[in-house]
Structure 1
């Protein structure tokens, strides 16, 4: 039952947001009593924490699998984008924004976990891109990997990028293009345009 609660709660949080969904909503959706949920999770914060870190582990594992498939560095970025969108429902409810606002401690811990994983993944992507001449050899990999992380976090700020104006798919697409064009060789630009045609 515990796993079923986590699965239902995760789906509802992604669809409607962490603040919007109550324990009553989850109980009603699952046709169980709220007491049953509290048997497994002492309060909503605990449930939010477990669903958040569960989603993080799922996404991280999926990204790791993609990185093992030997895509070229540019296609790898777009494969990861596709995977994230499929698993986060295009983030129409801006769950990350609600997490930051209403559960700041969980958000801060999640951000630290995301940074650690992304640093390793992006650094490897950049190194392979330089080695295979998709990215320029003069780029500062440590700097760019951090800028990439900050940019990825920044495009999820709904005050700057309101969801009624920008879909997450659009933001990720444009950010990846911005990122790649800033560091790519001629070979990299040609590969980017080819990959964009495939994914559009």
Structure 2
């Protein structure tokens, strides 16, 4: 059993049960290895949780790579990015996200850096391109729009009895992302998600 296999399995279990609740003993038992083998690769549980977060981020980025390269429209790219994120988040136990902040500061920093980069760089830059192409209304403040609509959406989604359990991904995508974007685009702009 190698390091990458442990990380991938741990990431699956941490998101499913919560990183605090799922123990190293349970992980070792399910993998059929000793805890000593896990600690050969990771100095602590937080080290493994951090590696698991990075694994999830890398997987997500790899999933997006091809999709984003194929799609040239910046607004559609944003929707696809969130559509794929929602596909993943629906399998996350809410305690996984909230537990990072409380129990695993190193892992939480990796996750927060990813979220900040996602919104402040990736989404913001795509909105800038959309504005330059004349897709957006002139008066929209892109930074404010990102802050209002795209920051910490998973926290909103996981409150109120976990919206991912109550509503379909399509409904969440429309209400969180598509309708917000539609509100700042010019009436002449069209894409398949807006129909």
- What TM bracket, shorter-length normalisation? 0.7 to 0.9
What is the deviation of 1:135? 1.8
Give the stretch that moved more between structures: 29-38 or 131-140. Answer: 131-140
1:161 aligns with 2:153: no
Superposed CA RMSD: 2.6
What is the deviation of 1:176? 0.5
TM-score, length-scaled by structure 2? 0.82
Structure 2: segments with no counterpart, 5+ residues: none
Count of aligned positions: 191
1:58 aligns with 2:59: yes
What is the deviation of 1:72? 1.8
* Matching residue of 2:5: 4
Matches for 1:40-189 after TM superposition, within 5 Å = 40-86=41-87, 88=88, 90-94=90-94, 95-156=96-157, 158=158, 160-163=159-162, 166-167=166-167, 169=169, 170-188=171-189
Rounded Cα–Cα distance in structure 1 between residues aligned with 2:152 and 2:39: 38
1:89/1:144 CA distance change after superposition, 3 Å: closer
TM-score, length-scaled by structure 1? 0.80
Rounded Cα–Cα distance in structure 2 between residues aligned with 1:105 and 1:41: 14
Cα deviation digits, residues 171-199 of structure 1 (max 9, x gap): 333101332133121133x53xx4256xx
Structure 1 segments, 4+ long, off by >6 Å, are none
Give the stretch that moved more between structures: 167-176 or 114-123. Answer: 167-176
Q: Is the 8 A contact 1:2 1:40 kept in 2?
A: yes
Rounded Cα–Cα distance in structure 1 between residues aligned with 2:141 and 2:49: 37
Q: Is the 8 A contact 1:15 1:89 kept in 2?
A: no
What is the deviation of 1:64? 4.6
Structure 1: segments with no counterpart, 5+ residues: none
Give the stretch that moved more between structures: 60-69 or 135-144. Answer: 60-69
Task: Tell me which of 167, 188, 195 is aligned to 2:193.
Answer: 195
Rounded Cα–Cα distance in structure 2 between residues aligned with 1:167 and 1:3: 34
1:14/1:121 CA distance change after superposition, 3 Å: same
